[in-house]
Structure 1
Amino acid sequence: MRKFYHVFSFYFRESFLSKKSLITSGILFLIVFGIFAFNHFTSAKDKNKDKDKVAIVIDSSTYKVKEDELQKILPSAQIQVAEKSQLEKLRKQVEKEDLNGLFYVTEKNGVPEITYMYNGFPSQEMSAIISNYFKQQYTQIVLLKNKISSDVAQQLQTDISVKEEAIKDRSASFGIAYIFIFVLYMFIMAFGNTIAMNIASEKSSRVMEVMLSKVKPLQMMYAKILAVVSTALLQIAILACGFFVPVLIGWIKWEDATLFGMPIDFAKLDAKVISLFIVFFITGYLLYAMMYAAAGAVVSKTEDLQSVSFPVAILIMAAFFISIKSLTDPNSTIVVIGSYIPFFTPMVTFSRVVAGEAGALEISITLSLLLVTIFLLNFITSRIYVNGVMNYSDKVKFKDLAKFIRRY
Structure 2
Amino acid sequence: MSNFWTILWHTYWTKIKTKSFLITTIITALLFVLLANITTIIDAFSNEETPKVAVIDETNSSIQAIERIEAYTSEEVILESVQQSEAEVDEKVISGEFTGALYLTSNGENLISGEYKSLSIADTTISSLLQTALQQIKTELTAESINLSPEQLQTLYAPVSFETTALEENAKSQEELSQARGLVYVVLFLIYFAVIMYASMIANEVATEKSSRIMEILISSTPPVQQMFAKILGIALLSVTQMLILGSIGFIALRESMSKLEGGWFEAFGFSNLSLGILVYAAIFFLLGYFLYATLAAFLGSLVSRIEDVQQMIMPMTMLVVVGFLLSMYGLSNPDTTFITIASYIPFFTPMLMFLRVGMLSLPVWEPILGMAVLIVTTIILAIFGARVYRGGVLMYGRSSSYKDIKKAIQLTKKEK
Shorter-chain TM band: 0.7 to 0.9
Match in the other structure for 2:124? 122
Deviation (angstroms), 1:325: 2.2
How far 1:334 sits from its partner (Å)?
A: 4.7
Matches of 2:145 and 2:124, distance apart in 1: 29
Residue 28 of structure 1: aligned partner: 28
SS at match of 2:114: strand
Decide whether the 8 Å contact of 1:52 with 1:78 is kept in 2.
Answer: yes
Shift of 1:210: 0.7
Deviation at 1:155, TM superposition (A): 3.5
The residue correspondences of 1:30-45 to structure 2 (distance < 5 A) are 30-37=30-37, 39-45=38-44
**Match for residue 16 of structure 2?**
16
What SS class does the counterpart of residue 77 from structure 1 fall into? coil
Deviation per residue, 1:45-65 (Å, 9 max, x gap):
366444343444321226422
Q: How do 1:275-290 and structure 2 match up within 5 A?
A: 275-290=280-295
Match of residue 300, structure 1, among 296, 302, 305: 305
Q: d(CA) in 1 for partners of 2:256 and 2:311?
A: 44
Partners of 1:258 and 1:99 lie apart in 2 by 33
Q: Give the structure 1 partner of residue 56 of structure 2.
A: 57
Contact 2:15 2:238 in 1 (8 A): yes
Following the alignment from structure 1 to structure 2, what is the Cα–Cα distance between the partners of residues 302 and 105? 66
Give the Cα–Cα distance (whole angstroms) in 2 for the partners of residues 268 and 332 of structure 1: 26
Whole-angstrom CA distance in 2 between matches of 1:132 and 1:114: 11
**1:201 alignment counterpart:** 208
Is 1:327 aligned to residue 332 of structure 2? Answer: yes
Aligned pair count reads 397
Say whether the 8 Å CA contact 2:25–2:242 is kept in structure 1.
Answer: yes
Question: Which stretch shifts more, 294-303 or 278-287?
Answer: 294-303
- Write out aligned runs for 1:257-268 (5 A): 258=265, 263-268=268-273
Q: Is residue 400 of structure 2 the alignment partner of residue 374 of structure 1?
A: no
One-letter amino acid of the counterpart of residue 139, structure 2: K
Are 1:29 and 1:242, in contact at CA under 8 Å, matched by a contact in 2?
A: yes
Distance 1:76 1:331 in 2: 45
Structure 1 partner of 2:243: 236
In the alignment, the residues of structure 2 paired with residue 371 and residue 324 of structure 1 have an alpha-carbon distance, to the nearest angstrom, of: 24
Distance in 2 (CA, whole Å) between partners of 1:40 and 1:183 is 23
Offset of residue 384 of structure 1 = 0.7
Matched, 1:214 2:242: no
Distance 1:61 1:267, change over 3 A: closer
What is the deviation of 1:85? Answer: 3.4
Q: CA deviation at 1:127?
A: 1.4
Q: 1:41 to 1:380 in 2, by over 3 A?
A: same
Change beyond 3 A, Cα 1:379–1:94: farther
8 A Cα contact 1:71 1:77, kept in partner = no
The 8 Å contact of residues 69 and 130 in structure 2, kept in 1 or not, is answered as: no
Give the structure 2 partner of residue 183 of structure 1: 190
Native 8 Å contact 2:29 2:246 kept in 1: yes
Q: 1:149 corresponds to which residue?
A: none
Q: How does 1:342-353 map to 2 (within 5 A)?
A: 342-353=347-358
Contact kept in structure 1, 2:11 and 2:231, CA below 8 Å: yes
Relative to structure 1, the CA distance from residue 248 to residue 221 in structure 2 (aligned partners, 3 Å threshold; closer, same or farther) is same
Closer, same or farther: CA 395–154 of 1 in aligned 2, 3 Å: closer
CA gap of 1:46–1:158, structure 2 versus 1, over 3 A, is farther
Contact 2:207-2:310 at 8 Å conserved across structures: yes
Consecutive unaligned residues in structure 1, runs of 5 or more: 144-151
Q: 2:174 aligns with which of 151, 161, 168?
A: 168
Instruction: Mark the CA change 1:90 to 1:134 in structure 2 (over 3 Å): closer, same or farther.
Output: farther
Change (3 A) 1:125 1:311: same
Distance 1:125 1:83, change over 3 A: closer
Which amino acid is the alignment partner of residue 279 of structure 1? I
Q: Does 1:312 align with 2:317?
A: yes
Q: Match of 2:84?
A: 85
Question: The residue matched to 2:103 in structure 1 has which SS?
Answer: strand
SS at match of 1:298: coil
State whether residues 36 and 257 of structure 2, in contact with CA within 8 Å, keep that contact through their aligned partners in structure 1: no
* C-alpha contact (below 8 Å) 1:257/1:265 kept by paired residues: no
Conservation of the 8 A alpha-carbon contact between 1:199 and 1:297: yes
* Local SS of the residue matching 1:103: strand
For the Cα contact (< 8 Å) 1:57–1:83, is it kept in 2? yes
Q: Distance in 1 between matches of 2:336 and 2:15?
A: 39
**One-letter amino acid of the counterpart of residue 221, structure 1:** M
Aligned counterpart, 2:138 = 134
Is contact 1:300–1:393 with CA below 8 Å preserved after alignment? yes
Distance of 2:244 and 2:72 partners within structure 1: 48
Deviations 1:335-375 (A, max 9, x none): 33432221112122223322236553432332222222112
The worse-fitting range, judged by mean Cα deviation, of 222-231 and 63-72 is 63-72
Contact 1:184 1:281 in 2 (8 A): yes
Q: Distance in 2 between matches of 1:84 and 1:332?
A: 62
**Is 1:158 equivalent to 2:164 in the alignment?**
no
CA RMSD, Structure 1 to Structure 2 (Å): 3.0
CA distance in 1, matches of 2:361, 2:51: 41
| Aligned residue type for 1:168 | Q
Aligned CA distance change for structure 1 residues 366 and 16 (closer, same or farther; 3 Å): same
Q: Summarize deviations over 1:103-129 as a string: whole Å, max 9, x none.
A: 332222314141231432334344122
Task: Indicate if the aligned counterparts of 1:246 and 1:252 stay in contact, CA closer than 8 A.
Answer: no
2:168 paired residue number? none
